[in-house]
Structure 1
Amino acid sequence: MLRQTVLTCLLTSVVALPLSVQAKTEKDQTPSLKAVVKQYADLAYANYSDALQTAQALHTTINQLAKNPNEDTLKQAKQAWLKARIPYQQTEVFRFGNKIVDDWEGQVNAWPLDEGLIDYVDNKNYEHELGNIGASANIIANTQIKVGSKTIDARTITPELLASLNELGGSEANVATGYHAIEFLLWGQDLHGTQSGAGERKAADFMPGKQCTNQHCDRRVAYLKAASTLLISDLTEMVNQWAPKKNDNYRHELLNESPEQGLRKMFYGMGSLALGELAGERMKVALEANSPEDEHDCFSDNTHNSHYFNAQGINNIFFGRYQRTDGSKLTGPSVADLVKAKQPKAAQEIEKLFNATQSSLQVLVDKAENGMAFDQMIAANNKQGHTIVRNAIQSLVAQTEGIEKAAKVIGIDNLNPDNADHSF
């Protein structure tokens, strides 16, 4: 947690300002709505740029794995994937409220996925969407994919082929691209259920010739390279949409709307990610079903970090700040500043709700790092784990109420954050 330095000053020689000057000074320190929306766009550009850079680093390690497959190069690729998740998860707050992001996101971060679409699975431990005709397509093992009367040529695995196979046969569980497809290829199935342990794919699954295990290693390597190439392409597209000094991208469009509309999108994004998506789809669903199949980063057991950085992304927008992957900090006019200028007491109360959320998710992270992963927390008889997850959900619900209150203070109406049909 960042700590502010407390500056002391000598009370002697301080001259009180006239009331009219005090009022003017306070007013001058209040940012304009337009400045706050511009900072939002700056945060998006920086955040997506970091996501792109870490995806490029991931691609480099995947090429190293392909060139020299062994346990060390596989481990390096896994570590690069974990690092890439940190900035990307913070970008998800931009998805809600910005249709251009939401329409694009499915190819990048869709989940959960029926992994039998991509590669071999342990059929005894494979739960897939009922009626999904692509659940056993196994792109890596088959050069032709049949969907009803249609046959797809899969002899050459390319980014374009993989993109065309998303939602194959109309099923959202058929996810062929993005972070989670890469995650599955690096870790393999997590066969531990709600017990300790993540996926345990071996480097031999990428080795050539007789060293290859589970067959089709050349196609498995080709799939990984194609998926990471597509991820870089997709993230490049989104970086360009938020880039400054362009008159033909989404950033330009956003900043030319009324600032009230821009703020409405900001509030809707924060509230919808906190309530419907993170508290609801990503935590409540998994907890109530006691199902690791509904866990976000289910192959790597990285879910605790994904949840934490989702919440951090909400914080970034509210407080107008973002810590980049190189350690530098981007700060500027914020929603918090606007609330503080109108109702300082309300601003303090809302900030406490944001801090409470980060604290509750930090408990979840600490517990996971000390041996109780998210999929263990949601196990049917894990009372301690359930309490940790429920506390996080409740703090997110309270935080959403704070976000709605902040919107009212500023004068932004028609917010209605998405609850994804969950009741809390």
Structure 2
Amino acid sequence: MKKQFWMGLVAGALVSAGCGTEPLEEERARPVVERYAALVNENYTDVVAKARTLQTAVNVFIADPTQAKLAVARSAWLAARPAYGQSEAFRFYGGPIDDEDTGPEGQINAWPLDEAYIDSVEGAPGAGIINATGEFPTLSEKLLTELNERDGETNIATGYHAIEFLLWGQDQSTTGPGNRPASDFEDGGTAPNAARRREYLKLVTDLLVKDLESVQAQWAPGANNYGKTFTALKPEEAVQRILTGMGSLSGAELSGERMTVAYDNKDQEDEHSCFSDSTLADLYANAVGIQNVYLGRYGNQDGPGLDELVAEVDEELDKKMKQQLQASLEAIQAIPGPFDQAILGADNSEGRQKVKAAVEALRAQTETLVDVATALGIELNLE
């Protein structure tokens, strides 16, 4: 999401001194940098494949909007999310996903989303772009792109969460996700402007696939693209970017924006995937993505990771880092679902204690990531 990072996560500990070892040696670091670029491509290739499966399910649903086909589309959305969540470890350093001028991240995964900006909500049956037939008589990809985040960061018109809202509707349950009926998409069904709702869902799904394909193409091997430029960087610069992505996701974004804000506010609107109640899966995928980068692995593919560089200069630090990465995963898994209920209640309730423990585990691993940078002779500045 394109928004201000949550500050003050680990006080002043987020800047390393940049001392303690000689700069990274080319022969040690180059294989790690090349493996990182390959890993990124593997991850984004998976992201695109899952998004295309979602696209197919959405097309089948809008052609014949039955409850069974809506369920398949929802399952495809849920199946598409883990790969993208893992890929967020490649953000925060101006790469193809979030380049200040050309990066499509704000169209892909921006949140939190004001439901009434897109469609009708309880108490406002005429709300949203879908029902604004006078103001927006013709829906198009160009229009939705222009409307995304216009006049406010919650005015989200595109991306995973726009699709999520259309598939599930508002979440008004304490025990489960939203339950929009398929008949909202049927002509003469339970909601007006069904044809526009179908058209909107198709447009945002097609745009999501297109945006993700554009990012993946920038990391495809054998092309004159960002991936080629990245692997040609000096090792210090490349590893600094790698660590910046990991540390920013681990700290300011994951433990901060995605968990601490919701914990402090006790507000469902602050959780990541609130319509489908799949926020815990999002958090876990983010943590897996950080671990993947450190270990140099994605799925069944493995290769030289940062762990090998760190182990050569400080075996105990490498061991500590690996333990903390695993501890964060286990802490997130221990949070009772759904997340929007875990953040409620007294501070001594099980849910809030588990959320707090996960936040603390992520903060600890973020501090250690800064220690990793220092051990490699890199200055790391995280917001």
User: TM > 0.5 between the two?
Assistant: yes
Aligned amino acid, residue 375 of structure 2? V
**1:31: how far off?**
6.4
Aligned equivalent of 2:18: none
Distance in structure 2 (CA, Å) of the matches to 1:407 and 1:31: 18
Q: Does 1:206 align with 2:185?
A: yes
Distance in structure 2 (CA, Å) of the matches to 1:200 and 1:287: 25
Distance in structure 2 (CA, Å) of the matches to 1:100 and 1:49: 14
Q: Does 1:314 align with 2:296?
A: no
Q: Does 1:345 align with 2:300?
A: no
Aligned amino acid, residue 224 of structure 1? L
Aligned equivalent of 1:294: 270
**1:180: how far off?**
0.2
**Structure with more contact order per residue of length (Cα contacts < 8 Å, sep ≥ 6):** 2
SS of 1:123's equivalent in the other structure is coil
Distance in structure 1 (CA, Å) of the matches to 2:36 and 2:361: 24
Distance in structure 1 (CA, Å) of the matches to 2:91 and 2:314: 29
Aligned equivalent of 1:16: none
Distance in structure 2 (CA, Å) of the matches to 1:232 and 1:144: 29
**1:67: how far off?**
1.3
Q: Does 1:95 align with 2:91?
A: yes
Name which of 114, 124, 141 aligns with 1:159: 141
Aligned equivalent of 1:21: none
8 Å Cα contact 2:263/2:352 also seen in 1: yes
Aligned equivalent of 1:140: 130
**1:155: how far off?**
2.3
SS of 1:394's equivalent in the other structure is helix
Distance in structure 2 (CA, Å) of the matches to 1:139 and 1:388: 39
8 Å Cα contact 1:109/1:178 also seen in 2: yes
**Stretches of 4+ moved more than 3 A in 1?**
none
8 Å Cα contact 2:291/2:325 also seen in 1: yes
Q: Does 1:189 align with 2:148?
A: no
Distance in structure 2 (CA, Å) of the matches to 1:344 and 1:116: 53
Using the size of structure 1 for normalisation, the TM-score is: 0.81
SS of 2:301's equivalent in the other structure is strand
Aligned amino acid, residue 139 of structure 1? I
Aligned equivalent of 2:110: 110
8 Å Cα contact 1:117/1:174 also seen in 2: yes
Q: Does 1:85 align with 2:85?
A: no
8 Å Cα contact 1:44/1:94 also seen in 2: yes
Name which of 144, 155, 158 aligns with 1:174: 155
Q: Quote the RMSD (CA, aligned, Å).
A: 1.6
Report the number of matched residues.
Answer: 353
Deviations, residues 353-393 of structure 1 (Å, cap 9, x unaligned): 111111111212xx32xxxx000001133711100100000
Aligned equivalent of 1:397: 363
Q: Does 1:235 align with 2:212?
A: yes
**1:99: how far off?**
4.1
**1:273: how far off?**
0.4
Aligned equivalent of 1:385: 351
Aligned amino acid, residue 310 of structure 1? N
**1:120: how far off?**
0.2
Aligned amino acid, residue 143 of structure 1? T
Name which of 213, 219, 230 aligns with 1:254: 230
Report which stretch shifted further, 396-405 or 250-259. 250-259
8 Å Cα contact 1:315/1:354 also seen in 2: yes
Name which of 38, 41, 48 aligns with 1:45: 41
Aligned amino acid, residue 258 of structure 1? K
**1:115: how far off?**
1.1
Aligned equivalent of 2:4: none
Q: Does 1:119 align with 2:100?
A: no
Aligned equivalent of 1:73: 69
Distance in structure 1 (CA, Å) of the matches to 2:366 and 2:67: 44
Distance in structure 1 (CA, Å) of the matches to 2:314 and 2:27: 14
Aligned amino acid, residue 72 of structure 1? A
User: Structure 1 unaligned runs (5+)?
Assistant: 1-29, 127-135, 146-153, 324-328, 419-424
Change (3 A) 1:375 1:31: farther
Aligned equivalent of 1:356: 327
Larger radius of gyration: 1
Aligned equivalent of 2:243: 267
Aligned equivalent of 1:3: none
8 Å Cα contact 1:31/1:333 also seen in 2: no
User: Structure 2 unaligned runs (5+)?
Assistant: 1-25
Aligned equivalent of 1:148: none
Aligned equivalent of 1:129: none
8 Å Cα contact 2:266/2:343 also seen in 1: yes
Deviations, residues 185-214 of structure 1 (Å, cap 9, x unaligned): 00001123xx22211100101112x3x111
8 Å Cα contact 2:96/2:215 also seen in 1: no
Distance in structure 1 (CA, Å) of the matches to 2:182 and 2:220: 39
Identity %: 41
8 Å Cα contact 2:185/2:191 also seen in 1: no
8 Å Cα contact 2:121/2:127 also seen in 1: no
8 Å Cα contact 1:269/1:417 also seen in 2: no
Aligned equivalent of 2:21: none
Deviations, residues 283-307 of structure 1 (Å, cap 9, x unaligned): 0000100000000000000000000
